């Protein structure tokens, strides 16, 4: 099923990127499960940010691209 989805994405790439910008590039990003697990423990749902003790951290797009190791976005 994943292959079928990726084939459709490739067939409609121009429309997809026109509609969603760089978001489709995230499909190919490999997720570091350990990093994701660690970060999810500090995610504050109420404020949509990371909370470390009394410090709130709202990463920028640049920070997310560094964490994902995907500079193309």
Query: 0.85 exceeded by the pTM?
Result: no
Which residue has better confidence, 50 or 64?
Answer: 50
Q: What are the tens digits of pLDDT across the range 15-63?
A: 777 777 777 677 777 878 898 898 889 888 888 888 988 888 887 777 7
pLDDT at residue 30 in the model: 80
Q: Is the pLDDT of residue 11 over 60?
A: yes
- Hey, how many other C-beta atoms are within 10 angstroms of the C-beta on 46? 6
Q: How far is CA 9 from CA 31, 56, 64, 66, 67, in A?
A: 20, 37, 23, 25, 25
Q: What is the DSSP letter of 11?
A: H
């Amino acid at each position: 099923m994943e292959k079928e989805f990726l084939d459709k994405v490739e067939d409609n790439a121009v429309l997809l990127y026109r509609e969603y910008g760089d978001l489709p590039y995230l499909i190919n990003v490999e997720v570091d499960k350990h990093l994701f697990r660690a970060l999810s423990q500090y995610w504050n749902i109420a404020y949509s940010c990371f909370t470390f003790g009394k410090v709130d951290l709202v990463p920028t797009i640049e920070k997310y691209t560094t964490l994902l190791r995907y500079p193309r976005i």
